[in-house]
Structure 1
Amino acid sequence: MQLILISGLSGSGKSIALTVLEDCGFYCVDNLPAQLLPNIAGYLDRAGHARIAISVDVRSSGTLDQLPQIITQIKEQGFDLRLLFLEAKTDTLVKRFSETRRRHPLSSDQFTLKECIQLERDLLEPVGDLGHRIDTSDLNPNTLRAWIKEFVDFDRSRLTLLFQSFGFKHGIPLDADFVFDVRCLPNPHYDPVLRPLTGKDAAVAAFLESDASVQKMLGDIRRFVEDWLPCFIRDNRNYLTVALGCTGGQHRSVYFAEKLMEHFHTDGQQTMVRHRELS
C-alpha cells in the first residue's frame, strides 16, 4: 500500500494537496492524530485501499512528537510511506489568512497572527525534516497541483535530485538543501534581444556558453553535487533539492538548472527540474 502523509503550515496549501491526491485515486483522510496512523493504515489496507493520503498537522499538536517513531513503525510493517511537507513565508501566510478571513488553528487572545505562525513553524520543524518540502510562497495553485503530481509519480525507491531555479529578488526558496548564487555571471537581461527570452531558449544558452566563467561555475557546481550525492543516498534521503538563483529567475538560473538536470539524468540519476519564477 502506498501511504502519503501531508503536513505543513496552515495556509500553505495542504487542502489543495489532498484534493489533488483524491483526484489521483487516493483515499484521503484529513486531520488525523498521529498515534492513530498505524491502526488506520492497517484498517484501510485490509479494506483494499492501495493508495492512501492522510493529513497530520498542528491541529493534533499533542501527538506530533510521536510522529518520527510512528513513521518508522509503519515502514517496518511494509507500507510504502512518504511525507510531503508544505510551507510558505510568514508574510505570504499572513496575506492568505487576511484574504480568506480564516482563523489560525493556534489563534488565541494571547498571540498575534504572526506569533501563531511562528509557533506553528517551531512545532512542525522536526516533522518537516522527515520528508520532501515544498515552499508554496510564490506558487499559483495550478503549479502546486502539477508539482504534487510529479511527487506521486516518481520512483519511490530511489533518491530524486531536484534542480530549482529562482530569483533572489523574490526570496530564497525555503525548501532548498543547497543554494548556489549565479548573479556574478554575465546577465542576458541587458541584451534587448535576449531580455524577453528565458534560459531554456537556444539564444540565451549560446550567450552564456560563450563566457568561460559560466562554464567554470557550472562545472564547479556539477562536481560538488557529484561528490556529495552518494552521502545523501547512503543517508536514505528521498529528495535532494539544489536551488540556483539569479536576480530575476529568468535566464542564468534557468539555464543552470536545465544543464545540471540534463547531466545527471544522462548519468542515470532520477531528476526533476522546476523553475519557480517561470511558473
Structure 2
Amino acid sequence: MVVVTGLSGAGKSSVLRVLEDLGHETVDNPPLAVLGELMAGPGEGPLAIGVDTRTRGFDAMALLAGLDALRARGAAAPELLFVDAAEEVLLRRFSETRRRHPLAPAGMAGGGVADGIAREEEALAPLREAADWVLDTSGLPLPDMRRMIERRYGPAGLAGMTVTVQSFGYPRGLPREADLVLDLRFLRNPHYDPVLRPMTGRDAAVADYIEGDPEWGPFWARMTALLDPLLPAYEAGGKKYLTLALGCTGGKHRSVFAAERLARHFARAGWPVDLSHRELGLREAFHGARLQAAPAAPHIDPQSMTETTPAAPRTAQINPLDNKLAQPCPARAAIPDPR
C-alpha cells in the first residue's frame, strides 16, 4: 500500500498514473471516512491512495494515526510518499496551466497562489516530516520520475516497454495503432509463384524465396541497425507500448515473414513482444529472453526462422524507403481476404 500526498501542482496525479501502470489499484482523493475502510479492507493486489488538502475531512494527524494503526496490526505495510516541489516551480506551473490553487480561492496568479501554497505547506507539514519518501519534482523530468517510481514500487523483472510487431496488407489500410511503419513491397512477391501463392510467410518455402531476394539481406541489416538503438531510447523516454507495423500488398507473405523474424530478433534481445498478423487473424506473445519456439503451422520449417549473419554490417541508420527500395511494383491481381 502506498499513500501519495504532497503539494498541489507537484505531480501527485502523475505519480498515481505510474503506480496504476505498475499494477496498483489507485483511488484518488477519497473522503477521509472512506479512506479508513480502504486501508483496513482486504485487497487482491497493491493499493495506491491519493490524499491531499482537497480530501473531505482532511486531517494530517488522523491520517498518520491510521497508518500507525495499520502498521501495529501488521495487516499491511503502508508507505507514505510525499510529492514536493519548490515554490517558484509551483507558481510557474499554476501560471502555465491557468488552474486555481485549491487553497487560493481569491485568484489564479500572483499573491493568491503564493498564499495558497503557504497554507498548504503548513497543513501538510506533519505528513512531509513523517513521509517514508519525499520526492522533489522541481527539476525532475517525467521519464526520470517514472523510472524512480518503477525502481521503488515495481515488481521484480517488470518490463519497461512491450513491443508489438504487426504484419498487414495495404489494401485494408494502415494499422491505426502503429507508431512506426515499414513498407516491404520493394521485395519480390511470392504471390506471383503459383506454388507459393496459397502459402504464407510462415511457410519454409516462402521464407526461402524471400531470403533469396538480393535486397533482403542488406535491408534486414539496415532495418535492425535502425531499430535496435531506437527501442531503448523509446523506453528511456517513458513509452510503455511500441507498435511496429510491416506492410506488403496482401499482408500474407513478405510482411508476415519479416514480422516473424523481427519479433524473434527483439525477443532474443530481451524485449517482451506481441506478434500479430492482421490479415491472417493470428497473434502470439514472446517473453523476452524466455522466447520459446513457436508451434509449427503446416508447411513451416522452424529452421527457416533461425538468425543468419546479416549481408551488410549494422552501421548507419537509413531511411528504408530510399530510392533503391521504393521502386514502384508491377500491378498485382487482387488478393482475396484469407479470413
Shift of 1:29: 0.1
1:185-264 pair list within 5 angstroms: none
Aligned partners of 2:6 and 2:52 also within 8 Å: yes
Measure, in 2, the Cα distance between the counterparts of 1:16 and 1:114: 22
Tell me the amino acid that sits aligned with residue 153 of structure 2: V
For 2:30 and 2:105, how far apart are their aligned partners in 1? 22
Deviation at 1:101, TM superposition (A): 1.0
3-state SS in 2 of match to 1:80: coil
> SS where residue 130 of structure 2 aligns?
coil
Residue by residue over 1:133-188, the C-alpha shift from the partner in whole angstroms, topping out at 9 and shown as x without a partner, is: 01110011111111111221499xxxxxxxxxxxxxxxxxxxxxxxxxxxxxxxxx
Query: Quick one: which of 21, 34, 49 aligns to 1:54?
Result: 49
Q: Which residue of 2 aligns with 1:242?
A: none
| Structure number with larger C-alpha Rg | 2
- 1:57 Cα shift? 0.5
- Do the aligned partners of 1:27 and 1:52 also contact (CA within 8 Å) in 2? yes
More displaced stretch, 145-154 vs 8-17: 145-154
Task: Show structure 1 runs of 5+ residues with no match.
Answer: 156-279
Alignment map for 1:68-107 (pairs within 5 Å): 68-77=64-73, 78-107=75-104
Counterpart position of 1:125: 125
**1:113 maps to which residue?**
113
CA distance in 2, matches of 1:126, 1:62: 13
8 A contact 1:34–1:64 mirrored in 2: no
Q: Deviations over 1:88-120 (max 9, x none)?
A: 000000111111111111122286111100110
Are the aligned partners of 2:104 and 2:115 in contact in 1 as well (CA < 8 Å)?
no
Count of aligned positions? 150
Deviations 1:51-77 (A, max 9, x none): 000001111263223111111112223
The TM-score, its normalising length taken from structure 2, stands at 0.42
| 3-state SS of paired residue (2:10) | coil
User: Take 1:121 and 1:149, find their aligned partners in 2: how far apart are those partners?
Assistant: 27
SS state of the match for residue 54, structure 2?
helix
1:21 aligns with 19
Q: Distance in 1 between matches of 2:21 and 2:154?
A: 14
Asked if 2 retains the 8 angstrom alpha-carbon contact of 1:35 and 1:63, the reply is: no
Instruction: Check conservation: 1:7, 1:86, Cα contact below 8 A.
Output: yes
Q: Which amino acid aligns with 1:83?
A: L
For residue 71 of structure 2, give the secondary structure of its aligned residue in structure 1.
helix
2:128 counterpart letter in structure 1? G
In the alignment, the residues of structure 1 paired with residue 113 and residue 63 of structure 2 have an alpha-carbon distance, to the nearest angstrom, of: 26
Residues 37 and 70, structure 1, Cα contact 8 Å, conserved in 2? no
Letter of the 2:138 counterpart: S
1:66 maps to 2:62: yes
1:12 equivalent in alignment to 2:7: no
1:135 paired with 2:136, answer: yes
User: Partner of 2:28 in structure 1?
Assistant: 30
Cα RMSD of the aligned pairs, angstroms, is 2.0
| CA distance, structure 1, for counterparts of residue 27 and residue 135 of structure 2 | 20
Deviations 1:202-224 (A, max 9, x none): xxxxxxxxxxxxxxxxxxxxxxx
| Further displaced range: 23-32 or 106-115 | 106-115
- One-letter amino acid of the counterpart of residue 15, structure 1: S
- Any idea what SS the aligned residue of 1:114 has? helix
Instruction: Provide the identity percentage.
Output: 34
Structure-2 change in CA distance of 1:13 and 1:152 (3 Å): same
Amino acid at match of 1:152: Y
